Structure formats: structure tokens, C-alpha cells
Amino acid sequence: MYIDSEQLLICVRHQANIELQLFQAIDQLRREILRQKPPRAFGVFQHIKWMRQELEGQIFKTIEASRNA
């Protein structure tokens, strides 16, 4: 199956948009948790921070892939 570069770019942009929305949702969740119960939320905060770093890495890889396409 052949996928031209325009189709690939559309797919990569769509994936990046989904990842950005997920990144924003995680960030909003982190803010909400910290606002409600900061002392109990530390472990959750650390997990969300890790998830955010993973997403940032994935978004960076997606952007690099779109540049190289």
C-alpha cells in the first residue's frame, strides 16, 4: 500500500493534535488535583508529571517525523 507524503503529513498532524489534547487534559487534571487536596495528591502529581514528560517526548517525535516526511 502506498501513502503519499501529503497523506502521511495529515495523519501525523492528526496524531499530534490528539496528543496535544491529551497533554492538555492531563495538565488540567493535575491542576484540579492539586487545587483540591495537595498533600494527598503528591503521588498522583508525580505520576501525572511523568505522563506529561512522556507525552512531550511523543509530541516532539511526531513533530520531527512530520518534518522528515
Select from 30, 55, 52, 27 the least CA-distant residue to 41.
30
pLDDT in tens, 1-18: 566 788 878 888 888 888
Domains in the chain: boundaries = 42-69
**Amino acid sitting at position 55:** L
pTM of the model: 0.49
For position 41, what pLDDT does the model report?
Answer: 60
pLDDT in tens, 16-42: 888 888 888 888 887 877 777 655 666
Per the structure block, which three cell numbers stand in for 37?
487536596
Per the structure block, which three cell numbers stand in for 49?
508529571
Select from 24, 1, 7 the least CA-distant residue to 66.
7
Question: 39: exposed, middle or buried (C-beta count within 10 Å: 0-12, 13-18, 19+)?
Answer: exposed
